[in-house]
Structure 1
Amino acid sequence: MHGGFDMNYDYLIVGAGLFGATFAHQMALTGKKCLVIDRRHHVGGNVYTEKTADIHVHKYGAHIFHTNNRAVWDFINQFTEFNHYINSPIANYKGEIYNLPFNMNTFNKMWGVVTPAQAQEIIEQQRAEITDGQPQNLEQQALCLVGRDIYEKLIKGYTEKQWGMSCSELPASIIKRLPVRFIYDNNYFSDRFQGIPIDGYTSIIGKMLAHCDVKLSTDYSELYSSFAPYTIYTGAIDEYYNYCYGELEYRSLRFETEIMDTSNYQGNAVVNYCEREIPYTRIIEHKHFAFGTQPLTVITREYPQPWEKGSEAYYPINNEKNNALYQRYQALAARNQKVIFAGRLGSYQYYDMDKTIANALCLASSLKN
């Protein structure tokens, strides 16, 4: 695998996703020479977009950029212009449509209430069934937040599909930050900056990597460590160590994308399907991220899947068992001065895009000296 490569790289960066590309860009600005590899056939990782029927399709699920971090917002705006898209998903429960996040529009549809006091009174009444102090699982946490009606219709089935487990088996922490608002506001995020890049995410990554060498369809195991004195590894930390302590657990997704012979399939970019009997969790209609007027439309159904070796790892299952296992791998990593584990898989954490960029900028800054 040495053929065709300059061996004098400063950094080998494993993964051409948002973390790897941000880090590589920052180091290239300081004159460092970076080789970026990815086992996929494209750059961008999970933010990869490609055009189908003249529509930017989010190939690995919806990615809506949002942040309160002005430095991150200014950084990403070097590479693109963002539109004014606001994430306002809706939920479909057996043909009933509810606004998300949970707000006065949701409560009005659910109970016919029109004032915050009326909504709070109903939630307080339903919350009374939890009498054992602190919620011990996701089900109890949901009941405390929004009561039985909303839990049964809009949380239970969706969440159990997503995680493949009963809500009573899932940790309360998963939904502790679930937005609940007693105002008529369908904006899911409360961040100051929000939007979708008008040229798609792949264009951003390409610009970031303009001054780096990139090798796609290449697995780290195919390379020799002598390519560079330092490696930034954004793959799975347990895979790097050949699963010597066992496998960390994830949830995966299967995407089913279809071109539809209509200009408007569902009237919204994101529609959640909340009943347990429907196998997919949501349908994305990509053109609505960009206010598209194309004659056709493209939809993607998302089916949660158990993770197994060889499938994509999307959501770390951060329960006690897995977090303890990760700590063992982290202890191994701490003894390796030549490899830095980073990103979502390297850190065994789910990060939003802005946090991923912020982490990469921080790491690059710490290594510039």
Structure 2
Amino acid sequence: MYDYIIVGAGLSGAVFAYEATKRGKTVKVIDKRNHIGGNIYCESIEGINVHKYGAHIFHTSNKRIWDYVNQFATFNHYINSPVANYQGKLYNLPFNMNTFYAMWGTKTPQEVREKIAEQTQHLQGIEPKNLEEQALKLIGKDVYELLIKGYTEKQWGRSATDLPPFIIKRLPVRFTFDNNYFNDRYQGIPEGGYNVIIEKMLEGIEVELGVDFFEKKSKWENQAKKVVFTGMIDQYFDYKHGELDYRGLHFEHEVLDIDNFQGNAVVNYTEREVPYTRIIEHKHFEFGRQEKTVITREYPADWQKGEEPYYPINDAENNAIFAKYAKEAEAIQDRVIFCGRLADYKYYDMHLVIERALAVVEAEFTKS
């Protein structure tokens, strides 16, 4: 009999396992995959740490979270500075003075403001009804058509005129020549990849991989006083209120017999006609000097049950379904703790995953 069976060896499960063990609790972690780490898992290929489930760049402004994660790894000084490719022409992201110079030849912030005002003034009195109208009102026709429209439509699998405006309520526009994508104070990649963090968290903890919790659900639940569940909340309740929707991703990894393919870790392809949203060149995350390189093309896809879910579709219909599951979860909170991206039906960056998991830990272990 364990104190906790933790379903999922990703970041949420690993944080809870580490903290529970630190408090003298007996813990076992199970995962249906054949590796720990969930979606932050890295595979070493040609001596390069390949982010198998898409690019993961750690960033936060929360010093507590930054200090916490630095217990488990040494972070390098990688700064995320993606580049957008539209029909072979390159633009810096986020939208900044370099972007606008490449697009319009503007050299001063005032020139940029005038250009944006010229393209948006006729929309200022209009309440946007969809994402396209919202983006046009914020940034104008040129930036929208070259850098937003095609990428967004690929990402969501539908026309920008069929997407709600709230998806793009704000756009990061900088009137400086700063290519740093994130505004967060702390940023980097763990040296040796993300596996280093998860391995350290789970050190000395019993872990069983290749285990489908649902095949023997009652067995696992009977082996512990409490279950920490980080999987899909609708699956836990056997989809009794309906299935929650996600967007999926497919990855195409390729080893190239050259030392440098694109000169940057992330290049987005913003035209609709290119089927993938971006190409990741993994060695640049850790400033690699290997003779070969590994690239990954990332394809957004309609999600089917049984595939790995990536982005929750938090529209009104799905949120209403989730609310029913959240009520079910509340009713059994003395036996099951729901925590993480899939259990909370919410997209989290890594720092927020850790923040959420630590909040759950605190709530669990400060009970009277």
TM range (shorter): over 0.9
In the alignment, which residue of structure 2 is the partner of 1:238?
234
- Which of structure 1's runs of 4+ aligned residues deviate more than 4 A? none
Correspondence 1:343 to 2:340: yes
Q: Distance in 2 between matches of 1:200 and 1:179?
A: 29
In the alignment, which residue of structure 2 is the partner of 1:353?
350
Superposed displacement of residue 368, structure 1: 1.6
- Could you give the per-residue CA deviations for residues 249-295 of structure 1, whole angstroms, max 9, x where no partner exists? 10000000000010000111000001111100000000010111100
Number of residue pairs matched by the alignment: 362
- Could you give the per-residue CA deviations for residues 147-177 of structure 1, whole angstroms, max 9, x where no partner exists? 1100001100011001101112212222234
Superposed displacement of residue 345, structure 1: 0.3
Correspondence 1:299 to 2:295: yes
In the alignment, which residue of structure 1 is the partner of 2:264?
268
Superposed displacement of residue 131, structure 1: 4.5
1:1-369 equivalences in 2 (<5 Å): 8-221=1-214, 222-223=216-217, 224=219, 225-337=221-333, 338-369=335-366
Q: Distance in 2 between matches of 1:91 and 1:366?
A: 43
Q: Distance in 1 between matches of 2:29 and 2:123?
A: 52
- Could you give the per-residue CA deviations for residues 285-318 of structure 1, whole angstroms, max 9, x where no partner exists? 0001011110000000001110011111000011
Contact 1:249 1:307 in 2 (8 A): yes
In structure 2, the gaps of 5 or more residues are: none
Q: Distance in 2 between matches of 1:214 and 1:272?
A: 37
Contact 1:155 1:274 in 2 (8 A): yes
Q: Distance in 1 between matches of 2:170 and 2:9?
A: 30
- Could you give the per-residue CA deviations for residues 40-81 of structure 1, whole angstroms, max 9, x where no partner exists? 100000000011000000000000000001111111101110
Q: Distance in 2 between matches of 1:141 and 1:126?
A: 13
Contact 1:47 1:63 in 2 (8 A): yes
Q: Distance in 2 between matches of 1:134 and 1:213?
A: 55
Q: Distance in 2 between matches of 1:129 and 1:160?
A: 24
Superposed displacement of residue 205, structure 1: 0.3
Aligned residue type for 1:100 = L
| Secondary structure class of the residue paired with 2:112 | helix
Aligned residue type for 2:278 = R
Contact 2:124 2:137 in 1 (8 A): no
Q: Quick check: 102-111 or 124-133, which moved more?
A: 124-133
Aligned residue type for 2:67 = D
Q: Quick check: 170-179 or 144-153, which moved more?
A: 170-179
Q: Quick check: 54-63 or 8-17, which moved more?
A: 8-17
Q: Quick check: 172-181 or 36-45, which moved more?
A: 172-181
Pair 32,60 (structure 1): closer, same or farther in 2 beyond 3 Å = same
Q: Distance in 2 between matches of 1:313 and 1:180?
A: 31
CA RMSD of aligned residues (A): 1.1
Q: Distance in 1 between matches of 2:122 and 2:324?
A: 40
In structure 1, the gaps of 5 or more residues are: 1-7
